[in-house]
Amino acid sequence: MDSQNQSSVSLSATSNNGVSAFANIAQAPEDPILGVTVAYNKDPSPIKVNLGVGAYRTEEGKPLVLNVVRRAEQLLINDPSRVKEYLPITGLADFNKLSAKLILGADSPAIHENRVATVQCLSGTGSLRVGGEFLARHYHQRTIYIPQPTWGNHPKVFTLAGLSVKYYRYYDPATRGLHFQGLMEDLGSAPSGAIVLLHACAHNPTGVDPSLDQWNQIRQLMRSKGLLPFFDSAYQGFASGSLDADAESVRMFVADGGELFAAQSYAKNMGLYGERVGALSIVCKAADVAKRVESQLKLVIRPMYSNPPIHGASIVATILKDRDMYNEWTIELKAMADRIISMRKELFDALVLGALLAIGAT
């Protein structure tokens, strides 16, 4: 059969007299988080408020691009030597080194001993997915314990990566705080070697974090049982205003010499939401192990998205490696964090006052 006839047969087989081969596909529900933004955009109300995806807004309700980000971007645009070639599978080398330093600390022994494999990924979500698929292929345990509650995308990401998802108690509605006893009991009964997802700071969605003493107890328990920590760091510097304070939980686990995974995102702390800039760092026991781990991460990434985009990572690297720009970023970052904290307090005070007035009116 010639190619023209083959083409006609294929066309008739798929067209089915004008009926789509996908005619019976059901309409999928909107994402529970991003769907709120879809509804917000459709709503004609002039007084609407978007309570969906967590993205910073100005006093006027507008998206904010940090001044230091605009400066860095302008430097990149004005550089005639910059090209649009593919990055390596692992991403921009400077970005990876600086990202590991940011989360693990400039004086981290793991970095100095070359025990860290870092790859640039598609923001925090991509970092979690790459890490999950690596674990599904190469780790002896296929179960990951995640907090109850947690970010809605976590169970989907890890399930599709090939892991079995279970939950550990985290939030106690009765106290509106951490269910520390339940957390410790659940991790204590987890099988040896299980993976445990930990929010590095600013737990999503509760905002409740362990104290440093509680973090240390969690670390001791996890190390005693050989549980593997997988940190999701989506808010470093954005929670407290301090990059170091928000990374203390991760660095505590690195300091004991054990292994861990850390997924980073620059969506919140640099406002690079749409640039999809993130990193996955795997802290290993030895440099030769880290080298082999990186080689296998490449095999995960290559068929997934081949290599990451260059622009957002270049913005981050430009800021992190320049002392003045880095300092400017920390000032802008703290201003955002402080404003969020003060707005939450004002909202709380207003709600309390409203409740008191309502009680008084009755």
User: Which residues are marked as active site?
Assistant: 151, 232, 268
Tokens of 247: 């990374």
> Pairing state of beta strands 143-148 and 195-199?
parallel
Written in H, E and C, the secondary structure of the chain is: CCHHHHHHHHHHHHHCCCCCCCCCCCCCCCCCCHHHHHHHHHCCCCCCCCCCCCCCECCCCCECCCHHHHHHHHHHHHCCCCCCCCCCCCCCHHHHHHHHHHHHCCCCHHHHCCCEEEEEEEHHHHHHHHHHHHHHHHCCCCEEEEEECCCCCHHHHHHHHCCEEEEEECEECCCCEECHHHHHHHHHCCCCCCEEEEECCCCCCCCCCCCHHHHHHHHHHHHHHCCEEEEEECCCCCCCCCCCHHHHHHHHHHHCCCCEEEEEECCCCCCCHHHCEEEEEEECCCHHHHHHHHHHHHHHHHHHHCCCCCHHHHHHHHHHCCHHHHHHHHHHHHHHHHHHHHHHHHHHHHHHHHHHHHHHHC
CA distance 131 to 8: 45
> Pairing state of beta strands 171-172 and 177-178?
antiparallel
Question: Using an 8 Å Cβ cutoff, are 195 and 162 in contact?
Answer: no
Edge-to-edge strand list for the sheet holding 277-283: 116-122, 277-283, 260-265, 228-233, 195-199, 143-148, 164-169
